Every structure is written in structure tokens, then in C-alpha cells.
Structure 1
């Protein structure tokens, strides 16, 4: 396999998972990256997902969780969010590949005749494509952490496992490391920790040609040395390479725990990397602040995916970060938007210190969200609307303050007489420096405004007070836009346009005059929030909620 021509060589850590899904490979990978950064190394990540979808963009959040958007407009797996929150790495298209994307590339090459009429097979063509995806990171950083989605033994994951097996042969042991995350369950009735699932998982991995170098064992209780020795013996791994990943109170405690288990030291030893001691003071301070809040607020999140909070993963974390900036514990109260349609709104929202309406697609639960916005507006409760939440705030305002009772978005009513939110046909794309054209017949993905776009702020606004700068850049994922035909009317009746595109054509942020804190933004600020760098809007939203509680 052709290697990078860069003089700097990247070392690769491949993270696999066994026994069952949702063990936390993404968090483990992010924590490893955080520890390596704390030692002065540069890191990046890549997620290889076995599902056939080209990307998660059109997948139901109930099945896949949130879609995480990068600056360059990639719709990616939610683990990209963990990677960016825990480290300084910036994710992009090259950091997330699915089976669908790999196969699509291979099939396209075959159609173009690039294989010279040869028979296209999983080995070598699919595996080579996977290896090329991985090796494009070579030379970019000191260490690249590659997470293989799914569970070892899944039939759809076999090409990825085979590809990383070949990469060990191609690059050598000093440049590759296999970390296997597995489950060591605690059987409460027997009072015993069982190692058999781990043994079977490693046996499955070895049958595919990979001997793990390090085992990270997810468990409820710390593993005694005798159990580590037993696992090491049966899995052919040294005892000091058997790492306990015990359940922690907060995900941000994971790097500290894994450091205590000397995981970072073992990784550096096996990859033959020398560094100084890690500087983990910032993580220790962060965890201390999380566990010792000075105040407490309750935020209501009104959405339609509340039964699976992974659908709002970045949002959840950004609110926690906003609380950290204010020394405040944030209690999240998820409320079904459909319940708001049929039940008493005051009874569901009473007692909340702030109300947040997140993004989403489709008309289900929309009127319930509008009721929540109306309740926040009329009762002076701090409100934060994100993407669809901002659009619905405009609809609510137009219906009551402009006396347009049928005002709506064309997403929910194509024949509305007052489309205050509509599908814009042409707009200037600041990312490509081209005019984009779209209509109702375009592919779903083709009509989205995706990725980072600039926004100019009104200096007389809460948004400017939060950011403290005139121009910002934020990530978008939406299809419909604010209709400028209603802009003058809305402004004359008290709606503030506090952020627009540089050409003043696209409305990005709206606020309301004479309200303690009422802000709606077209973009998704949660994607740029980090625990040690809370996003300005979330910081100010929680600050407003805290003021509301104490008044």
C-alpha cells in the first residue's frame, strides 16, 4: 500500500468494540486523544461506520442519534462531537466514512473503467479503498485514532477489520496499535465479575486476524489485579495492558480515570513515543467544577425526539457547558412537543427557568413547540430557539404581533398565505463563492444549507453582548429560510434582526425587544461548544435562566 510522502509519519490507534454496542468506543477514543494532547502530541480521529447509508444525513434520529455537522458541511456520526469536545482536533469530510461511501467510491471507479475491466472484489478493492481513507491522515498529526463502528463479529464490519489487519502489516507494529473495548459484566445476584464475554470477544477478533494490544474493559466496579491477570492470560495480553473503564459520574472524568489506569503510558510505550508528563490540571479543575456547582437551574427542552436523548447529544453537552461557565448545575427536562399540543402548556413548563426549542425536520409536534415559545414570550421566561426553534419563534411572532393567524413555514403548509419561512430559490454560498439554486424537486441533501457560514452581528443586541465580536462563523443544517418579504413588518413590531449574512440577505439571528432574553438562531451553536470553551450563546442563556430563577 502506498504511504504518505510526508516526512512526518503518523502513528495509528485502531479502536474496536466487542460483546455489544453502545459501550462507549467514541468516548474512549476521545479520552485517549485528550490524554495524548495533554502530553503535547497532536491528534486527529476517524470514524469508520459499517452501515450502507452514504452518511447519516437522512437517517432517523431514533435509530442513529444526532447528525453532527462539521465546518466543511459533512453530515457525520455523533462521535465526531465527542472528538471535537475533548480535543483541539477539527473534524471534516475525511474523518467519517461509511460502508456506503466506500462502496459508492469503488462502484464509481468501476463504472469509469479505472479497474481496467478486472473483477471488483471486497479484497483487494474495498479494503484498499478503506486503507486509502485511513492513510490520507498520514503525516497530518502525531497520532490518528481510528474508531471502527459496530461490534466485532458483525458481518458488515468485516471489510474494515480486514483493512486494519492489513495496515498492521503495511505500516509495522511501531506505527499501529489495536485497542479493543469490551464488557466485563458484574452479576449482582452472584456478586461476581464475569470475564467470559471478553474472552469470546477477543477470540472473535483473533479469528479475524487481529491480536489486540490493549484491552479496555467497561465495567461497573474496578477490576482487581487477579482478574486483570486472568483476562490477560486468556486473551494473550499483558496484565498492565488490561485497563479498567469503570462507570464514571461525568463523561469528562473519563480521561482522568484512564490516566490513573496508565492507559496513556502504555500506548506511548507500545508506539515507542517519548513525551513528558501529561498536564491534566485543566481536566481536574473541570471535573471539580462539575461536581461542585454553586447554583442550579432547570431548562425545558421541547422536541420530538425526547425518547432518545442521544438525538440531542451536542445540545445536552452545550447546556452543561453553559452551566459550567456560570458555576451552575443544569437540570434538563425533556418535554415531548406532541404532549404540548394536547396537554396544558403551563402545567408542563411551569417551574422551568428557561425554555429551549431545538432543531428538527417535519411537521410532527410543531404546534406544540410554538405553544412553548408563546409561553416563554408572554411569561418573560428566557428562551433559546435553535434552527427550527428560531423559525417557529418567527411564526409565533407573526401570528400574534402581525395579526397573521395563518402564518407558517412552507415546510409545514405549502399553501400558507403568509410564508414567513420559505424555501429560498437562490442564495450566495460564502463557502463556495457561488450562487446556489434549489427548489422543491432537489434531493433532500441538495436543498440543505450545510456547514460553517459567516454572520455579521447587530452591535445593539444580546447576540453581540454574548460573542463580543462583530463577525462570527457558525455551522448550519437547515432547508428553509427567513422570508425577507416580512422583514420590515416584523421589525416594526418589535422583532430584532440581530445577525445576518454579510450581504444582509439571510437572517441568522432574531431577538425580541422588551424581553429578558429571547434569542433564536438559524445555525446550530451546540456543535462548537466545548467544556473548557462554552459557547457564548449557551453561556448567556444559562446566565439569563439563573437571573430568572433568583428574581
Structure 2
């Protein structure tokens, strides 16, 4: 039977529950155990797919087509375990499921209530599809005290009683602030947060204290005393210089040892932290760097492109250099400013996105990259913008656009009407936005001896998608005559997957999202190649 670890947070959000869960997963894996990580989100959206990146950060996509919280990206990058639809659920999805059952008469006329019906559905999610794991780590979103989180906290309290307290461990992550005016570390917020948790019926077994400074022993003793945990189970996590230090930091604080001791089991293997130490040394100490411009609509919020930022860093790791990201808001990027704004960059990347806003700035930047032989990487929407720029300036289709932006007689990018998934015909729509896109992992066939097939060292790849618009294949012949090669297609040859220029050192567009599969310990080949090209360009 699996052992369950529930991770909650208090005082404020964004303390790092996801990173803590991911780090613990790696440490337990390294000790020889099989681990699964899950996220329970308290918001009423069915999933984050329709939420603005400004509200919730990026939408992470799994192989099986789930649009999930960005923390699942942390889980995958640190543990190497591919997440599934069954690893992320929201209040909206829970209520949606329960109300469907009620409409179908499955509650046999009973009054449907938060307890037991909502909490029972949460418990079903927690234990579903988790038969072979040694540990299941469940992160509860939000903070203790939020009204939205109450059903989840009640559910995990009940679950602990049902499967036995010896099979469940509660970790509470809290803020221990430093007050500069009085030069003191304050434990009172942690005490109140734990008091709130205990009032619900949950006694934390381990408390992880997030602080910008080392917590003195006396303060840790105070937390131990007032929060009813042993001093060894008060785990300190001081702000790290790079997130790749997190597994090292938690191991140093003996978090994994305390977890194993709680469950009364021994380590099967010795923890291997050497890969993380090498990466940390490189990221923190290398003096070599390359400037990469990310030009998009959501650059004000770093979490909006979290996986992309990480993948570029991984590309830097593969090339033994630091990637300096220059974030440029495309909506305010004027063609007259392009040369000045991009003068010192060695590579240009246009990420995924939706809608017309900011597109002209992106197109102007792509034109600059193409004509000045600067390495360019277009991802999803970025590939579509590259096709539009090429159509306007090389094919002389001056009104070339996407049907996403409105009716047009020159839509070189259009809404997909249908596509195939697992042998089934899928239909596209722009009416109901939630979950109606081409989502998840799809196979692509790459042309032999193209740049991209040489990068992958394969002609068959599987990558994750999240889009409902596609490059119009009817223009293919015109494009290829002018030098833009359609170098990758769906297996049925109906959907263009990749484009590249044959007269450019590195100009590639992909309809999929390779950033979702990049790992610090296994950088994605496209990002490694892109950063290598930028490195060469920076020396010119």
C-alpha cells in the first residue's frame, strides 16, 4: 500500500510548496522508492486552461492532454516522472463531477452535501491510479484558513483516519519572516498558521519554515514547543540562489531522513546529489553568458513562461553557459525600435500565446531575426507568426494573417476543423474554449536531412501540443519555393508541425511545446541546439 504525504501551506501563498514537494520526490526516488506527485487546487475553474497567465502563470500540459497547474512542471523537471490527468484536480472539477452524478440520480435521492459527497470525491481522486507507488505526495493549493481550501483539508483529515495515521504524513510549509526594523526572526505567523490547521483536526508532523535568513536554534525550539512537533521536524529552508539548490538544501536539513523515520522504513540506496551540485555550480559560477530575447504578451509575470524559462536555462547548462533572458513586451515593441532593442541579443524566441494583441511587434522581431541571420525559435503561436511574416515579406501576401484575428481572404493560419487522436476523429471549435484544443502528446514525422531531424537524431518524435489554429498547408508549395521548408508533419501528413529556413544558420518554428519535456538533468535537444547557435552568433 502506498504511503501518503500531504503538503499544506500557511501565512502566504507562493512559499514554494510545489518546489518542496518536487525536491522531496527526487530525494525519495534517489533513496530507491517509487513516487507520485499530485496537486489539489481550490479554485472553481475546471482547469487553468481558460485562465489568464497574469492570474495563474503558465498552463502546463501533460502527455495525456490535461491542462494543469504549473507546479506539475516542477514535479516533472525534478522527479523525471511524467504527470497524468489523474495528478491534478480542482474544486471546479470536483463539483462538476458530483453535480453530474446528482443529475444522473446516482445518489439515490439523497441530499448532496459538501460532507460527505464532495470530500468523498476528493478522497477518490487521492487514491485513484496509485497502486504501485511507495509514496504519493499530494500538494494542497492555497493557504490554510482560505474558505476554498476547507473541503480539501477536511478530506485529507478523513483520509488519514481511514488509511491509518501510520500511512499518512502531514507537512506544513510556513513563512518565518525577518523584521529588519527590530532585527528579529518572528515565529508568531507560523504558530497561528499551525493553530489554524490544528483547529481543523490536522496536526502537522513536519514543519518546513521558509525564511530569508537562517533561523536561530532558540526560534526553532519555540516553533517546536508551540506547534507540538519535535525540534528535528522543524525544517529550515532559507532562500536559495537557484531552485536547483533545493534538493541539496532539503537533504542537508534531513527532510528525507525524517520522512523515512516517520514511516519507520530504511533507505534502499544512498542519495545521489552530484548532478544537482554540478548544475548549481554551473548556474551560479559560470561567467560565460548569452543574451536571449523572449518577446511575448505576458513577460511582466515570470511564471507566465515558467517552463520556457527553465528550458532555456537547461539549454545553457548543456552548453556550459548562463542564459540571460531579456523580456520584451510585444504590444509595445515598435518596428522603429527593433534594431535598438535587439542589438545586443544573440537569439530571439517567440513563445506560445493567443489573440491578436502584440502580434505586429512579434512579426517585426521575426523579420529582424530572419534578415539579420540571428538564431530564431518560434514555438506554437511563434511558429504561426513566423509563417505570417514570411508570407508578407517573401511571398508578397501583404494581408497575410490568421483567421484567429478575424475574417480574411489570406489566412495562412486557420482554425483546425478536425484531426486524429488515438484513431478517433477530433473536431475543432472556437466556441467553447475549455479543453477543446489539440492537447497532449502527438507524434510528428520529420523530413530526413533537415535541421530539425538532425537535432533530434530521429525522424519520429512525440511532443506535447496546445493549440486550435494551424498553418494552412495549401500554401506549402509557395513557401518552399521561397526557402521556408515544411520539415515536419503529423503522421497523416495533414498538419504542419515544423518549419525551417534553408538559408539561415538557425531559424526553426514548431507547432508543439518542447519546453514541457525539458529537464535540468536532460535538456531538450531543441533548446540545447538553439542556445549553441546563439553562443556561436554571440562571438561574431
Pick the TM interval, shorter chain.
Answer: over 0.9
Q: What does residue 4 of structure 1 align with?
A: none
Whole-angstrom distance in 1 between the partners of 2:26 and 2:146: 29
Native 8 Å contact 1:455 1:508 kept in 2: yes
Q: What does residue 420 of structure 1 align with?
A: 412
Q: Secondary structure at the match of 1:134?
A: helix
Q: What does residue 433 of structure 1 align with?
A: 423
Whole-angstrom distance in 2 between the partners of 1:239 and 1:437: 58
Are positions 1:26 and 2:18 aligned together? yes
Q: What does residue 389 of structure 2 align with?
A: 396
Q: Secondary structure at the match of 1:344?
A: helix
Q: What does residue 217 of structure 1 align with?
A: 209
Native 8 Å contact 1:529 1:535 kept in 2: yes
Whole-angstrom distance in 2 between the partners of 1:463 and 1:237: 55
- For residues 91-490 of structure 1, what are the structure 2 equivalents within 5 Å? 91-275=83-267, 276-293=269-286, 295-341=288-334, 344-414=337-407, 416-429=408-421, 432-441=422-431, 443-445=432-434, 447-490=436-479
Native 8 Å contact 1:253 1:283 kept in 2: yes
Native 8 Å contact 2:80 2:519 kept in 1: no
Q: Secondary structure at the match of 1:411?
A: helix
Deviation at 1:373, TM superposition (A): 0.5
Q: Secondary structure at the match of 1:445?
A: coil
Native 8 Å contact 1:10 1:137 kept in 2: no
When normalised by structure 1's length, the TM-score is 0.96
The correspondence for 2:515, drawn from 488, 512, 526, is: 526
Native 8 Å contact 1:110 1:120 kept in 2: yes
Query: Structure 1, residues 183-209: CA drift from partner, whole Å, max 9, x if none?
Result: 000111211100000000000000110
Whole-angstrom distance in 2 between the partners of 1:88 and 1:436: 30
Change (3 A) 1:535 1:309: same
Deviation at 1:360, TM superposition (A): 0.3
Change (3 A) 1:44 1:347: same
Whole-angstrom distance in 2 between the partners of 1:389 and 1:138: 38
Deviation at 1:446, TM superposition (A): 5.2
Deviation at 1:224, TM superposition (A): 2.1
Native 8 Å contact 1:137 1:144 kept in 2: no
Whole-angstrom distance in 1 between the partners of 2:263 and 2:412: 58
Native 8 Å contact 2:319 2:528 kept in 1: yes
Whole-angstrom distance in 1 between the partners of 2:115 and 2:434: 31
Native 8 Å contact 2:428 2:437 kept in 1: no
Deviation at 1:384, TM superposition (A): 0.3
Query: Structure 1, residues 298-332: CA drift from partner, whole Å, max 9, x if none?
Result: 00000000111100000000000000000010000
Native 8 Å contact 1:173 1:271 kept in 2: no
- For residues 12-91 of structure 1, what are the structure 2 equivalents within 5 Å? 12-91=4-83
Deviation at 1:88, TM superposition (A): 2.3
Deviation at 1:343, TM superposition (A): 5.3
Q: Secondary structure at the match of 1:532?
A: coil
Deviation at 1:440, TM superposition (A): 4.3
Native 8 Å contact 2:39 2:141 kept in 1: yes
User: Could you list the runs of 4 or more consecutive aligned residues of structure 1 that deviate by over 6 angstroms after TM superposition?
Assistant: none
Q: Secondary structure at the match of 1:115?
A: coil
Q: What does residue 3 of structure 1 align with?
A: none
Q: Secondary structure at the match of 1:51?
A: coil
Whole-angstrom distance in 2 between the partners of 1:536 and 1:484: 26
Deviation at 1:140, TM superposition (A): 2.7
Structure 2: stretches of 5+ with no match in the other structure = none
Count the aligned residue pairs.
539
Deviation at 1:522, TM superposition (A): 0.2
Deviation at 1:340, TM superposition (A): 1.1
Q: Secondary structure at the match of 1:162?
A: helix
Q: What does residue 493 of structure 2 align with?
A: 504
Change (3 A) 1:342 1:353: closer
Deviation at 1:168, TM superposition (A): 1.0
Whole-angstrom distance in 2 between the partners of 1:489 and 1:90: 39
Deviation at 1:295, TM superposition (A): 2.0
Whole-angstrom distance in 2 between the partners of 1:24 and 1:69: 20
Whole-angstrom distance in 2 between the partners of 1:29 and 1:200: 23
Q: Secondary structure at the match of 2:145?
A: coil
Whole-angstrom distance in 2 between the partners of 1:38 and 1:68: 25
Deviation at 1:424, TM superposition (A): 2.4
Query: Structure 1, residues 413-446: CA drift from partner, whole Å, max 9, x if none?
Result: 32x22111011222222xx2112223444x2235
Whole-angstrom distance in 2 between the partners of 1:121 and 1:129: 11
Whole-angstrom distance in 2 between the partners of 1:320 and 1:440: 34
Q: Secondary structure at the match of 2:405?
A: coil
Whole-angstrom distance in 2 between the partners of 1:343 and 1:180: 52
Deviation at 1:214, TM superposition (A): 0.3
Native 8 Å contact 1:127 1:160 kept in 2: yes
CA root-mean-square deviation: 1.1
Whole-angstrom distance in 2 between the partners of 1:281 and 1:17: 30
Whole-angstrom distance in 1 between the partners of 2:170 and 2:523: 33
